[in-house]
Structure 1
Amino acid sequence: MNQPAASWVERLGLQPHPEGGYFRRIFTDARTVATPGGERAAASSIHYLLDTASPQGRLHRNRSRILHYLQHGGPVRYWLLTADGVLTSTTLGVAAGEALFLDVPGGVWKASELVDGADHALVSEVVLPGFDYADHEFMSLSQLAGDHAAHLPTLRHLVRPAD
């Protein structure tokens, strides 16, 4: 079934996400765990949507591990940048060579973008331990240029504009 991105926003009650795209938290575990940042839910989950109006998820990192599952649409490319400067990409989609699942360890910089003419990608994410904004950080352009200058040409367009 071909469902336009706008209908997913309405159907799932999604709101604009600070990273780009749209999201809605759909689960927060009542159990908690101790983390370096304090008590966190054991797990949380969101629906996350990129579309042609908001086709990128800006470069950021989280303290927690995040599991990504493509639900509809795509392809969507995820860029992963480790602290030691290793840059990799994985494309979630249904074509040969694409994946339906991506595991991003905590502390890894991550960005996403629609590719190959995709008009949307609906991804569900599970965060372990659960997401807290205190554990989230955006990459700045000066940080990218200073710490990972070799990747500036590839990732510059995925850095959130300065506030």
Structure 2
Amino acid sequence: MRAQELIESLGLEPHPEGGYFRRIYTSPHGLATESGERPTATSIYYLMTDAQPCGRLHRNRSDILHFFLEGDLVEYQLLDPDGGRSVRPLGGAEERHLLVPGGWWKASLLPEGSRYALVAEVVTPGFDFADHEFAREQDLPLDHRPALRPFLG
């Protein structure tokens, strides 16, 4: 019930990774990157619900700071460029913020018993879909494929 209230009150729309989102800020200042001009920062609300508890595995060129706003625990599956895998909690009595460096694969999951999680994300340099990539099985190290297969979408 609270998740639906947030979707309506915050004007959230379906996100290609799963869940719901709305961009809430785009910096008016530009920054030249190897991929072209980007805003210095962008920010979104991102909502996961128990109806869509899994966010697809993807990576961005930019760093992303995640800030827990309300709801239940969400877990992030992370895979660094060297193939190291970790699971990081966000929310509840756990961590209130999480940095995912540019170039790292990430996926999100509401564990069993979690109903929803509302997160704010700040991307720097700012987000552009040209800098975003969804994972394919062949992108992943062989030893992590079984654990990450559910996040491939």
Per the normalisation by structure 2, the TM-score is 0.96
1:47 paired residue number: 45
Q: Deviations over 1:124-148 (max 9, x none)?
A: 000000000000000012333xxx1
Cα deviations by residue, 1:75-116 (Å, 9 ceiling, x for unpaired): 000011012110011101222xx2010011100000000014
Q: Could you say which residue in structure 1 is the equivalent of 2:70?
A: 72
Where in structure 1 are there 5+ consecutive unaligned residues? none
Give the alignment partner of residue 151 of structure 1, picking from 133, 144, 147: 144
Distance 1:128 1:61 in 2: 14
How far off is 1:56 after superposition? 1.2
Q: Which deviates the most, 132-141 or 148-157?
A: 148-157
Q: Is the 8 A contact 1:75 1:116 kept in 2?
A: no
Where does structure 2 lack aligned partners over 5 or more consecutive residues? none
AA aligned to 2:152 is V
C-alpha root-mean-square deviation of aligned residues, in Å?
1.0
Amino acid across the alignment from 1:5: A
Name the count of aligned residue pairs: 153
Q: Give me the identity figure in percent.
A: 54
1:131 is aligned to 2:127 = yes
- C-alpha separation in 2, matches of 1:64 and 1:15: 23
The list of structure 1 runs, each at least 4 consecutive aligned residues, that deviate by more than 6 angstroms after superposition, is none
SS in 2 for 1:56: coil
Alpha-carbon contact 1:70-1:122 (below 8 Å) kept = yes
Report the TM-score when normalising by structure 1.
0.91
